Amino acid sequence: MRTGPRDTTFGTSLGLAFIGGYADASSFLTAGTFTGHLTGNCVLAAVSIATQEWYLASDRLLAVLAFLCGILSSLTMSRLLPVYVRGYSLLLAMLVELVLVGIAFLFIWNHVNNEWFIICMCLALGIQNDALRKTNQVSVHSTYMTGMATTLMQKGFSYFLTEAGVESKPATDSASAAIHVLAPMWISFIAGAVTGAIVVACFHAIGVLGIVLLLCLLIGAELIANFTAAS
């Protein structure tokens, strides 16, 4: 019986990174606000305040608050889960995310105020960002590409440019493992952002349903992985 989170499969991490990019791009085109990017929203909020666009500023500050609440919700859920189901915390987080994205779509489809769409999407992405923590023993995030790109550059420098013999073999192996995880995830995030932008530009609000489809596929894959690990 597992009592802690299972190390996330590489495919699931790639899928969640793709969703992170897709959600950010589609939300920006739909509501003028990122839903998984604290830095971007803080900068955009500051710009909106400077240009006295108070409505946009409030939406972007709301996005920051909702994203942080999503992280806090995920941490609380993980802490309160019974020990025997903590190994399925990522699966549960994706199920909650699926519900929140579905509700967000209904809000935007029925032309309800953008604020409810932003709240649901930011909560979903905050939960996702906390729930995905490690892949192949490498610390990862699925919506925080700045940090991942920085780590990737650091590990790449360590692996390719450090003088031979200076780095120990464990350190070199660690750098290699990080590169093999972080580089594809970064590419997947960018691909998701491009895909989300194109789909929403073509199909408008209904393009948000692409996130629902992707989450359903990942949840199915995670169910199979959990079943296999338990066998």
Tens of pLDDT along 127-161? 999 998 888 888 888 887 777 778 778 878 877 76
| Mean pLDDT for the chain overall | 87
For residue 179, tell me if it sits in a domain: yes
Strands (E) across 46-139 are located at: 134-135, 138-139
For residue 231, tell me if it sits in a domain: no
The pLDDT of residue 51 is 93
Helix (H) or strand (E) holding 93: helix 89-109
Confidence of residue 167 (pLDDT cuts 50, 70, 90): low
The pLDDT of residue 1 is 44
Percent of the chain whose pLDDT exceeds 90: 54
For residue 4, tell me if it sits in a domain: no
**163 pLDDT above the threshold of 90:** no
Q: Is 118 left (phi over 0), alpha (psi -120 to 50) or beta?
A: alpha
CATH code, domain with 93: 1.20.1250
For residue 1, tell me if it sits in a domain: no
The pLDDT of residue 82 is 83
Helix (H) or strand (E) holding 139: strand 138-139
For residue 57, tell me if it sits in a domain: yes
Total tally of structural domains belonging to the chain:
1
For residue 191, tell me if it sits in a domain: yes
For residue 108, tell me if it sits in a domain: yes
- Domain span at residue 194 reads 10-226
**122 pLDDT above the threshold of 70:** yes
For residue 54, tell me if it sits in a domain: yes
Mean predicted confidence (pLDDT) in 210-228: 90
